[in-house]
Amino acid sequence: MSEATVLFEERASGAEKRIGIATLNSEKTLNSLTFEMVQLLSSKLRQWQADDAIACVFIQGAGPKALCAGGDVQQLYQSAVSQPGGPCEEAEAFFELEYRMNYLLHTYAKPIICWGHGIVMGGGLGILAGCSHRVVTEKTRMAMPEVTIALFPDVGGSWFLNRMPGRVGLFLALTAAQMNGPDCIYTGIADRFIASTHQQAVLEDLATLQWNENNKLHTQQVTKVLRRFEARSAEIKPTGNVAEHYEIIQSLTDQNSFYEIVDAITSLQTEDTWLQRASDALAHGSPISACNIQQALELTVHLSLADVFAFELMLATNIVRHPEFAEGVRALLIDKDKNPRWQYASVRDVPEQLMQQMVTPPWPSNPLDNIAVA
């Protein structure tokens, strides 16, 4: 493979159209997003959107293990520790650029197929969730593990979590619970389950399409191709966890207060491995992060997509400037002792004043206030 962090190809298709193929190309890091990768992908997406000869876009990850394991958190960590308590210029510039790219995906004028194979977390989930045609496979492993490093599910997480069935979004965000392909479809993050062995065949079929002169019908043509391969994949479709546990998720999150929701989840003792792992993740996660997750979902529930991204940039900026984030990354990814020294012992100890500061703009104007017209 080339050393380029994102590979681009334009494949000839029918009716003198082309398919734009973008491959996240950092296999050793599970295609974790760097500032350079987001720059390259954003620029090419805009170029392809303006090119009438490009009928659709296909996004994939290099290698068999991951679409994308998230943003390059160690880069963010270095930015945070270099300017403790103050503006983290590199981290904040990364967030702004990434959020602009994800908003572009959500509002793209052409069909975008995202092949969500393998690990899909953090920034990878942001890419998948924003595309018009979101494919998962038998190897898809998706989660929002931000509570373990004192972040929150961003890049549109506040948007799609609030649109999941019941209170599933809150539960998944608090517990970092892992999802497979069928879970992703049940929660609305993905659209189609297709066996991973069909990936190249899907691209070949897209390349043979005689694209309609009406560009608005291209979405329908892509859907028909994916539907055929989904039908061929039914026999290997695994059983999901989220739908199976829907009622207990609703019960655990049906409490009189957020504190009681956390109590119910963390006090759970069960032989159900999926549930117990979820309970343990919240119990060992950052109390500040848990509170931020709850208030982010509450404050964004009625916001537009553009306003959600602006809100998330504000919250992410405040979080990275706070020492809890650096400590979470240190424990999990730098020293790897898995023993973070959180500032507060429980969510009840987190001051309301701190939570208010987290959602108070740290600058005179939000860089994403104009995202819908940029």
Q: What tens digit of pLDDT does each residue of 319-356 get?
A: 999 999 999 999 999 999 999 999 999 999 999 999 99
Q: Which domain holds residue 276?
A: 6-358
Which CATH number goes with the domain that contains 46? 3.90.226.10
Which residues neighbour 298 within 8 Å (Cβ) at sequence distance 6 or greater? none
Q: What is the pLDDT of residue 362?
A: 96
The b/e string for 192-216 (b: 16+ C-beta within 10 A; e otherwise) is: bbbbbebbeebbebbeebebeeeee
Q: What is the pLDDT of residue 1?
A: 46
Can you list the pairs that 272-277 forms with residues at least 24 positions away whose Cβ atoms lie under 8 Å?
272/245, 274/177, 274/178, 274/241, 274/245, 275/245, 275/248, 277/177, 277/178
Q: What is the pLDDT of residue 94?
A: 95
324 within a domain of the structure (yes/no): yes
Domains held by the chain: number: 1
Q: What is the pLDDT of residue 83?
A: 76
Cβ contact 107:46 at 8 Å: no
C-alpha–C-alpha distance, residues 101 and 116, integer Å: 17
C-alpha–C-alpha distance, residues 313 and 156, integer Å: 10
How large is the C-alpha radius of gyration of the chain?
A: 20
346 within a domain of the structure (yes/no): yes
369 within a domain of the structure (yes/no): no
Q: What is the pLDDT of residue 3?
A: 83
The pTM (predicted TM-score) of the whole model is 0.96
| 5 bridge partner residues | none
Q: What is the identity of the amino acid at 10?
A: E
368 within a domain of the structure (yes/no): no
DSSP letters spanning 295-351: HHHHHHTT--HHHHHHHHHHHHHHHHHSHHHHHHHIIIIIS-------SSSSGGGS-
325 is written with which tokens? 């984030």
285 within a domain of the structure (yes/no): yes
363 within a domain of the structure (yes/no): no
1 within a domain of the structure (yes/no): no
- Residue numbers in the chain where pLDDT is lower than 50: 1
